[in-house]
Amino acid sequence: MGNNACIRTKVDEHKIESCKGVIDNHDVSFIRLSETLGLAANQVRLKILYLLSTEESLCVCDLSDILKMNISAISQHLRKLKDKNMIIPERQGQTIFYAVNQEYHQLLSMLFSHIEADKS
């Protein structure tokens, strides 16, 4: 087993306090990013988020057809995304359409830019 001890000869107190402040100031952003990445770590939810990011909105039936999954399974994934406020439902008559919450759009577009780059 290796030696994982830290032997520091000089402490930069200013750097330590500055970094603590940065972490504290961005705590909400770290929580949001962590939740986003946790939910997006599931391949189906990642595909749903990708589709909802690239399309204006889709309903559960659209997603079921596209992903070749039953509506019940898609609905469970949508519920998890909706519970974390990552997607917004909008009822149009009998149908509920889903779209990505604008708060998450920029973050997701950065993630999905890598998928777009892989196509070339």
Q: Is the pLDDT of residue 1 over 60?
A: no
Q: Order across the sheet with 95-100: list the strands.
A: 58-59, 95-100, 87-92
The pLDDT value given to residue 2: 58
pLDDT per residue as tens digits for the range 4-22: 778 888 988 999 899 999 9
CATH number for the domain spanning 72: value is 1.10.10.10
Number of domains in the chain: 1
Q: Is the pLDDT of residue 58 over 90?
A: yes
pTM for this predicted structure: 0.77
Distance, in Å, from the CA atom of 24 to the CA atom of 8, rounded to the nearest integer, reads: 24
Host domain of residue 65: 13-118
Is there a contact between 63 and 53 (Cβ–Cβ < 8 Å)? no
Mapped onto helix, strand or coil, the DSSP state of residue 45 is helix
Asked, for residue 107, whether it belongs to a domain, the answer is: yes
The pLDDT value given to residue 42: 93
Q: Is the pLDDT of residue 34 over 60?
A: yes
List the structure tokens of 37: 């990445």
Asked, for residue 22, whether it belongs to a domain, the answer is: yes
Distance, in Å, from the CA atom of 54 to the CA atom of 21, rounded to the nearest integer, reads: 36
User: Could you tell me which of 76, 23, 21, 29 has the C-alpha nearest to residue 48?
Assistant: 76
Q: Mean pLDDT across the chain, nearest whole number?
A: 90
The pLDDT value given to residue 119: 66
